[in-house]
Structures are given as structure tokens and as C-alpha cells.
């Protein structure tokens, strides 16, 4: 009897130990599931953000229905996501081009290969646009779907994508380099100086951290609009070259005091905080500015930008905000 009791106790202890292990494993699996779910959610948000930031129109078609369209796709075709979901995708296409587009879609489905084609669309304003499209076959919910990528070839649109910052609409680095190189050639011929200002927004990271990247983007747009109004001379250029960094090209500069006057006017233009977002938040805007002069600080665009950048970092190291420095060799 004593031996049977001992065996029963041992079996009970073994069951309890197995139960503890099962509970621990279950807890571990729950943690893993929660972590994986969070990662999938973050990845989906990242993909959605990247698709909507793309300057090209992206869509997904399944069973002859548009089940996804990004922001650029809606802008290219001049229709809202709701309007697009309700209509036959071919109705977007100019009538004479529908057969051509349909055959391209069909070839992708049957041959499972990528297809490139051009077609026209008629906008609500009754203007015709030329569109370059590419489609490929993908799997979605264990069924085939078509991923489409579209670019507006209408005059001016391609140039805008290539030479303008998609967020602010300002010239980008590429266009600024072209303008700067042209200005240098002109300045050499006429023996006139020019100035390049490297403008960096102070404490921009703090704005993103406090209010989110959407508010940060809206702030950059507002700043760009005010700078655009400020830089009005025909041969001067303002560009956004990335993040919170801008370049301002000033031509026909007679003396340094003129540059200093321009910078002080720029600071005064941002004396009042900007009202951003909804509900609105007040953001005080301050800058650090580095200045490089042609021909004193460089005779080519790369060297002028580099030296203006170095001068900006020197200005940023000073404690007070709204500061500027000239490059010192």
C-alpha cells in the first residue's frame, strides 16, 4: 500500500511538473505571438507609408476590381479611392486604348510575365494624359492579382518628378546643382560674386518626437512656402536637399553686408510661431545658416556646398538660435 501511495505521489508530482512546463511554454508562445503580431503590424504600416510616398501611381487589381490605390494613382487619374473602387478599371482608359490595355492585362495573367505599355486617359476636366504603365502578377489571399505601376508622361510631370522635392514642391538637389553650375558660369563671365546659403532647421527632431512625423512634414511645407515667398528674384533659387535642410542661391551679390541683411530679414520672417496641424500646435522656427561665397570659397558647385555645410555646422554649435556663419578657409 505504501509503495502504491509513493507511486501515486510521484505521478502527481510529475504531472505538476509537466503542467508548469506547459504553462511556461504557453506564456512564451503568447509573448512570441504578441511580438510577431506587432512586427507584422509595423511592417504593414511601413509598406503603406512607402506606397503613399511613392511619386508613381500604384494599384492592385483582383477580379477586375481595384482593391488598392495609392495617393499618386488617385492624383494621376483625378479620382478618389472610393470612385475608383466602384468602377470598372478599363473605364478610366481612353476608349480607343482600352483594347490595348486589356490585352496587356490578359498577357500578364496567362503568361505570368511583366508587361509595359502606354495609353491615354481622359480626366474629369476633359484633358488627355499619356500614361506609362507596367503590370506584374502577384499572389494575394492565395489568389492571383495584378500589381500596376503608372507614371504620368504629360508634359511637365516627368520633369517635376525628376527635379522637384515631392513633399514641398521646391527644386531638389539635382535642380539646385544645375542652377548653381549655370550661375557659376554666368558669374565667371561677368566677374560678379554669388552666395550659397546652407539652411538647417534647428530642433526639427524635437518637433517630430513631440507631435509626430505628419506634423513635421506639414511644418516643412509651411516653411518652404514662406521661403518661396521670401526668395523672389528671378535668378535666385531655393531648394530642399533632404530632411530639414535647404539651400538658397543668391546671385549678383555686391558685398557681405547685403547677405547679412537678407539673412536677418529671413529670421524676421519667422518671428511668429507657425500654426501647424489640426488641432493646431504652435511651433517656433529657428535656423542655423552657413554661407559660402563664389569665388572666395570655391569655384565649383560641390566645393561651395561643402564649405557652406561646414559653416552651417559652425553656426549650429553656437548656443543662441537663428545664427549664421561665413565659411573660413
Instruction: Looking at the structure, tell me whether residues 206 and 85 fall in a common domain.
Output: no
What average pLDDT does the segment 139-165 reach?
80
Of the residues 97, 131, 157, which one is the last residue of a structural domain? 157
Instruction: Looking at the structure, tell me whether residues 127 and 177 fall in a common domain.
Output: no
- Average pLDDT for the chain: 84
Output the domain CATH number for residue 151: 3.30.450.20
Question: Residues 6 or more apart from 130 whose CB is under 8 A from it?
Answer: 118, 119, 120, 152, 153, 154
Domain-located, residue 42: no
Instruction: Looking at the structure, tell me whether residues 202 and 82 fall in a common domain.
Output: no
**Percentage of residues of the chain with pLDDT beyond 70:** 83
Provide, for the chain, the percentages of residues in helix, strand and coil under a 3-state DSSP scheme, each rounded to the nearest 5: 50, 25, 25
Domain-located, residue 7: no
Domain-located, residue 109: yes
pLDDT at 247: 96
Mean pLDDT comparison of 6-15, 60-69, 308-317, highest-scoring range: 308-317
Q: Which residue has the higher pLDDT, 38 or 288?
A: 288
Instruction: Looking at the structure, tell me whether residues 66 and 105 fall in a common domain.
Output: yes
What is the count of structural domains for the chain? 2
Answer whether residue 174 shows pLDDT above 70.
yes
Instruction: Looking at the structure, tell me whether residues 186 and 315 fall in a common domain.
Output: yes
What average pLDDT does the segment 159-188 reach?
86
Mean pLDDT comparison of 44-53, 125-134, 188-197, highest-scoring range: 188-197
What average pLDDT does the segment 51-76 reach?
86
Domain-located, residue 21: no
pLDDT tens-digit map of 217-244: 999 999 999 998 888 777 889 999 988 9
pLDDT at 107: 83
Domain-located, residue 262: yes
Instruction: Looking at the structure, tell me whether residues 276 and 256 fall in a common domain.
Output: yes
Instruction: Looking at the structure, tell me whether residues 110 and 174 fall in a common domain.
Output: no
Of the residues 157, 186, 201, which one is the last residue of a structural domain? 157
Answer whether residue 165 shows pLDDT above 60.
yes
Cα separation, 161 vs 178, whole angstroms: 15
Domain-located, residue 27: no
**Placement of cell 504553462 in the chain:** 23
Instruction: Looking at the structure, tell me whether residues 276 and 143 fall in a common domain.
Output: no
The mean-pLDDT minimum among 8-17, 98-107, 143-152, 317-326 falls in 8-17
Cα separation, 76 vs 154, whole angstroms: 10
> Which runs of consecutive H residues, i.e. helices, occur in the chain?
2-53, 71-77, 81-86, 98-111, 157-163, 173-190, 204-211, 213-230, 256-269, 301-317
Domain-located, residue 38: no
User: Residue 269: which pLDDT band, with cuts at 50, 70 and 90?
Assistant: very high
pLDDT tens-digit map of 4-62: 666 666 666 676 777 677 666 766 666 665 665 666 566 556 566 676 778 889 999 98
Q: CA neighbours within 13 Å on the CB side: how many for 40?
A: 6
Domain-located, residue 71: yes
Answer whether residue 126 shows pLDDT above 90.
no
Output the domain CATH number for residue 234: 3.30.70.270
Instruction: Looking at the structure, tell me whether residues 169 and 318 fall in a common domain.
Output: yes
Task: Provide the domain limits for residue 192.
Answer: 164-326
Instruction: Looking at the structure, tell me whether residues 142 and 205 fall in a common domain.
Output: no
How many H helices and E strands in the chain? 10, 12
User: Residue 128: which pLDDT band, with cuts at 50, 70 and 90?
Assistant: confident
Instruction: Looking at the structure, tell me whether residues 234 and 300 fall in a common domain.
Output: yes
Instruction: Looking at the structure, tell me whether residues 179 and 282 fall in a common domain.
Output: yes
pLDDT at 158: 66
Answer whether residue 210 shows pLDDT above 70.
yes
pLDDT at 12: 67
Of the residues 157, 187, 211, which one is the last residue of a structural domain? 157
Amino acid at each position: 500500500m505504501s509503495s502504491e501511495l509513493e507511486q501515486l505521489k510521484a505521478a502527481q508530482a510529475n504531472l505538476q511538473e509537466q503542467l508548469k512546463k506547459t504553462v511556461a511554454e504557453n506564456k512564451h508562445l503568447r509573448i512570441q505571438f504578441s511580438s510577431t503580431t506587432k512586427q507584422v503590424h509595423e511592417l504593414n504600416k511601413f509598406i503603406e507609408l512607402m506606397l503613399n510616398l511613392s511619386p508613381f501611381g500604384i494599384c492592385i487589381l483582383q477580379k477586375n476590381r481595384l482593391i488598392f490605390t495609392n495617393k499618386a494613382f488617385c492624383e494621376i487619374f483625378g479620382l478618389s479611392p472610393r470612385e475608383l473602387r466602384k468602377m470598372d478599371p478599363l473605364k478610366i482608359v481612353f476608349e480607343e486604348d482600352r483594347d490595348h490595355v486589356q490585352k496587356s492585362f490578359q498577357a500578364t495573367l496567362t503568361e505570368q510575365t511583366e508587361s509595359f505599355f502606354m495609353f491615354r486617359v481622359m480626366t474629369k476636366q476633359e484633358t488627355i494624359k499619356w500614361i506609362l504603365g507596367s503590370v506584374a502578377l502577384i499572389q494575394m489571399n492565395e489568389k492571383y492579382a495584378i500589381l500596376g505601376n503608372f507614371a504620368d508622361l504629360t508634359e511637365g510631370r516627368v520633369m517635376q518628378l525628376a527635379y522637384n522635392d515631392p513633399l514641398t514642391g521646391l527644386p531638389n538637389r539635382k535642380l539646385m546643382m544645375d542652377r548653381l553650375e549655370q550661375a557659376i558660369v554666368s558669374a565667371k563671365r561677368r566677374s560678379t560674386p554669388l552666395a550659397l546659403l546652407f539652411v538647417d532647421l534647428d530642433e526639427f527632431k524635437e518637433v517630430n518626437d513631440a507631435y509626430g512625423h505628419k506634423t513635421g512634414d506639414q511644418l516643412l511645407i509651411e516653411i518652404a512656402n514662406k521661403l518661396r515667398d521670401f526668395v523672389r528674384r528671378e535668378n535666385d533659387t531655393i531648394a530642399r536637399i533632404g530632411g530639414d535642410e535647404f539651400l538658397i542661391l543668391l546671385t549678383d551679390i555686391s558685398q557681405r553686408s547685403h547677405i547679412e541683411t537678407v539673412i536677418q530679414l529671413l529670421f524676421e520672417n519667422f518671428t511668429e510661431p507657425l500654426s501647424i496641424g489640426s488641432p493646431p500646435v504652435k511651433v517656433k522656427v529657428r535656423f542655423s545658416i552657413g554661407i559660402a561665397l563664389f569665388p572666395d570659397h570655391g569655384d565649383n558647385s560641390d566645393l561651395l556646398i561643402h564649405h557652406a555645410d561646414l559653416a552651417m555646422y559652425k553656426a549650429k554649435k553656437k548656443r543662441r538660435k537663428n545664427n549664421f556663419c561665413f565659411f573660413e578657409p
